[in-house]
Structure 1
Amino acid sequence: MRLQIIKDFLMKASFDFDRPDIDLYNFHPQLRIFLAVKGVFFTNRGSRFRLIWPSICIQLSIIGMTFEEMFIWRGVSLKDYSFATECFCYWLLLGCIPTVYVSILVHTNKIYDIVVKMNEEFIYVCSLGPTYRKPFLEGQLLIWQLCYAWFGFVSFVGGLYVVFPLVGLIYQSLFATLNENTTRPLQFPMWLPHDDPYRTPNYELFLLIQSTLCFCFVQTFCVYVYTLFHILLHYYMIMDMIIIDFSVIFDGLEESVALLPRQDSRRMETQRILNARIEKIVKWHLSVFRAVKTVSSIYGPPLVYQVSFTSIAICLIAYQIAEKLDHGSVDILFSLLSICACLQLWIPCHLGTMIRNKAFEVGDAGWTCGWHETPLGLMIRTDIIIIILRAQQPVTIKYTGLPQIQLETFSSCMSSSYSYFNMLRQYSK
């Protein structure tokens, strides 16, 4: 029964896909909710209340990073490299929080504008009939499903960081004997100069702070990656609409009209129809370039942070897993964290490759639409050639200090992390 409820929710079984007032906001109600948490309000854009939660997250992350820097110094000074690398790994993860929030808050207006534009395109596509509406809504349903799949996975991993210490506390309270090590567990390793972080009330305070940081990181990074792939997949589907437009560009038009004099009323009407169809293709095509450029400016700093430090983070996570295996144990949390670390980089890289390839498919669709096989092609030949030439320019996410976000980038980062891992293992032996 519960599985059926989950399935119905993911398939939007209760949603009327044929409703006439369908738009982005009632199909994806989670989008504006998640953005509101990030400080992007749609009803009262200038409200100062939108800054409360981002400010709390940024301040907590800075406090956490300061503690981790102290722990890193402690680990290096004692030559406890396992402790130092684990703390450095958490320092890198916490650094994502202020990077994401500052980037979003600085570009709030751009995010608002791009979401409004996506809503206009959503409504327009759904008004074009089943040829466009059906594949477009199928793609939007996929975004809905991917959103909650990603949210569920990240919440599961983050939740374990809260559950494991609580389970440890319950075990110590109910089953631990006097001979057992009864150090109370925390999510992250702690150390304080001239004090014991595991005594009351230090322990309770650090447990609360670390649990809050886990929540902050989950909702920050989960929403950031979700909004990134939502926008990119939306414009991936817009390019599908362009390809459909090319496939029907000559439908319903009489070929012999192209041979009539230019002043003939029938030819002029056909020319007007073709120009309108070309205009729609050009507008959609330009909207894709503008959207990817906007995404690059909004999410460029977080993506630079991801690409720059993911290889180091994966290396440190793998080192911790290997160290635990050397001592005969399996670190479940770090094993899941390694999957999460790979996914968070693979998602934008995979989307970057998808967008790039789909943009080239738009040019191919223009070339194979049959313009050279019908006299009607003479009437829009120049327009189609311009579109084909424009489509040869790669649609990629670009930002200062950032390579093109593609699967090649992901492969390069993974290779670098493997090299760092081997160096670290050799140095620590």
Structure 2
Amino acid sequence: NRAYIFNKIVIDTTSHIQVTQYNTATMFDKFKHFYNKDNLNYSTGYVDPFEFHQTFYQVLVNFKVADLKNKNPPSYVNQNMFLFINSLMATIIISIACYHGLVTADLPLITEAGTYTIVLIYKMIILNCTRKNLPQYHNFLRAMKKDFQYICSVGEKYRAQYFENQLKTWKICIVICIFNVGIGILMNIFAFLSLFYFQVTHVEDTEQNRPLLFPFWLPNVDLSKSPFYEVFFMFGNVTVVLYTYNFTCELWFIYFSTIIINSMQFSSRCYLWSSDLVLIFNFVLYDVTLSLTFSTLIGTHKGYAGLLSFFKSFILSKIITFLFLNYDY
């Protein structure tokens, strides 16, 4: 009986491992097909640009900027309102911490909280653009649709090169989005691991406080005590996730700008314009990169979250700059 039970356990365990490996391989194969667009035939016939770039188009739909028939700005009653309220609350709280740093002459707190204040204001600016710059989003989508129609009809001889560039752009932006989401996940993991490490190594009757991901501060409130700590701990983690989601709005702009610039290559009257746009974009990107890198580097004086944000901004800007400087048009 013991041998039978032991053999059954071994067989069940082996079967479970094989099923897990099969499911993992299947999931990886599905992502590989999605990444390489193996399930979409773009060699013949008309290709719908919104189907080719369906993932990013769906994100534009979520932010209410993809409806070409609706010329009115998006309604306030949608996910953008929730994101804006979250960023506004976070900005107010972190600004209070920055003010406290100014009053107490706490330079690390000033630089870290000040950096996060700027980053959160930037988030609200992005959300505001979804309302104020709605015609520009629509112009991007119309231009992309017009280019696909041209390539699939009059410009048939350019089809292979055109869709090769489109596929490269798609792949690079997928990698960038995965990297961006990964940073948000890693920051949340870091917050939970820091709390776990504190609980394991904490010694009673010491002045150590439970760690928070961001330098929150409120007057006459001890954020290390329950329930304030739990509220701000989860608020910080949720804000990171929402900011990561919102930050993709900037990636869409870069993504669609890249698509438009690639498409302009196939129109002779716009060839020189596209080269100028690439150069101008790189100069602007380089200037923004320096500013963002400098401000975030100062914020790393006290918090690891600032360090992660610095690496994210630095690596992301380098990838995008490499794309524009070394892209084989």
Say yes or no: does 1:102 pair with 2:132: no
Structure 1 residue 169: Cα displacement? 3.5
Which structure has more relative contact order (CA 8 Å, sep 6+)? It is: 2
**Cα pair distance change 1:115/1:30, threshold 3 Å:** same
Matched-pair identity in %? 19
Aligned to 1:189: 215
Secondary structure of the residue aligned to 2:265 is: helix
> What residue number does 2:313 align with?
341
Structure 1 unpaired stretches of 5+? 243-280, 325-330, 359-429
1:62 aligns with 2:41: no
Which of 295, 306, 318 is the matching residue for 2:297? 318
Runs of 4 or more, structure 1, over 6 Å off, are 286-289, 306-309, 347-355
Cα separation, 2, equivalents of 1:140 and 1:203: 47
Matched, 1:36 2:15: no
Contact 2:209-2:224 within 8 A present in 1 as well = yes
AA aligned to 1:341 is: S
Distance 1:94 1:203, change over 3 A: same
- CA shift at 1:111, angstroms? 1.1
Give the 3-state SS of the residue equivalent to 1:142 in structure 2. helix
Shift of 1:132: 0.6
Residues 98 and 113, structure 2, Cα contact 8 Å, conserved in 1: yes
Q: Are 1:24 and 2:3 counterparts?
A: no
Counterpart of 1:185, as a letter, is P
Structure 1 SS opposite 2:215: coil
Letter in 1 for 2:99: W
RMSD (CA atoms): 3.5
Report 1:218-367 matches (<5 A): 218-225=244-251, 227-242=252-267, 281-282=268-269, 311-321=290-300, 323=301, 333-343=305-315, 345=317
Candidates 230, 243, 247, aligned match of 1:204: 230
C-alpha offsets along residues 214-244 of structure 1, whole Å, 9 cap, x if unaligned? 122212222212x2222222233224324xx
Alpha-carbon contact 1:96-1:221 (below 8 Å) kept:
no
Structure 1 residue 130: Cα displacement: 5.6
Q: CA offsets, 1:179-238, max 9 Å, x none?
A: 48763332201222111112222122222322232122212222212x222222223322
CA deviations over 1:119-176 (Å, ceiling 9, x no partner):
1211221234663111111111112112211111111111122222222334455x34
For 1:318, the aligned partner's letter is L
Is 2:73–2:131's contact at 8 Å kept on the other side of the alignment? no
Is 1:8 aligned to residue 17 of structure 2? no
C-alpha change, 1:41 and 1:118, in structure 2 (3 Å) is: closer
How has the CA–CA distance of structure 1 residues 112 and 98 changed in structure 2, closer, same or farther, with 3 Å as cutoff? Answer: same
The Cα of 1:18 is off from its aligned counterpart by 2.8
Q: Does the 8 Å contact 2:289/2:317 carry over to 1?
A: yes
Give the drift of 1:32: 2.1
Q: In structure 2, what is the Cα distance between the partners aligned to 1:189 and 1:121? A: 48
**For the residues of structure 2 that align with 1:170 and 1:63, how far apart are their CA atoms?**
27
* Count of residues paired in the alignment: 298
In structure 2, stretches of 5+ residues that fail to align are 1-24
Distance 1:198 1:307 in 2: 40
- Classify 1:353/1:51 alpha carbon distance in 2 versus 1 (closer, same or farther; 3 Å): farther
- Residue matched to 2:14: none
Q: In 2, distance between residues paired with 1:139 and 1:186? A: 44
Give the counterpart letter for 1:31 in structure 2: F
Deviations 1:343-380 (A, max 9, x none): 5555676677789x98xxxxxxxxxxxxxxxxxxxxxx
Q: Following the alignment from structure 1 to structure 2, what is the Cα–Cα distance between the partners of residues 206 and 71? A: 13
Distance 1:19 1:51, change over 3 A: farther
Provide Cα deviations, 1:74-115, integer angstroms capped at 9, x if missing partner.
Answer: 223323211221111111111111111112211212311320
CA distance in 1, matches of 2:197, 2:69: 48
Structure-1 residue corresponding to 2:147: 121
Which region of structure 1 is more displaced relative to structure 2, 214-223 or 92-101? 214-223
Contact 2:140 2:260 in 1 (8 A): no
Instruction: Tell me how far 1:66 sits from its aligned partner.
Output: 1.7
User: What aligned pairs does 1:391-410 form with structure 2 within 5 A after superposition?
Assistant: none
Distance 1:102 1:344, change over 3 A: farther
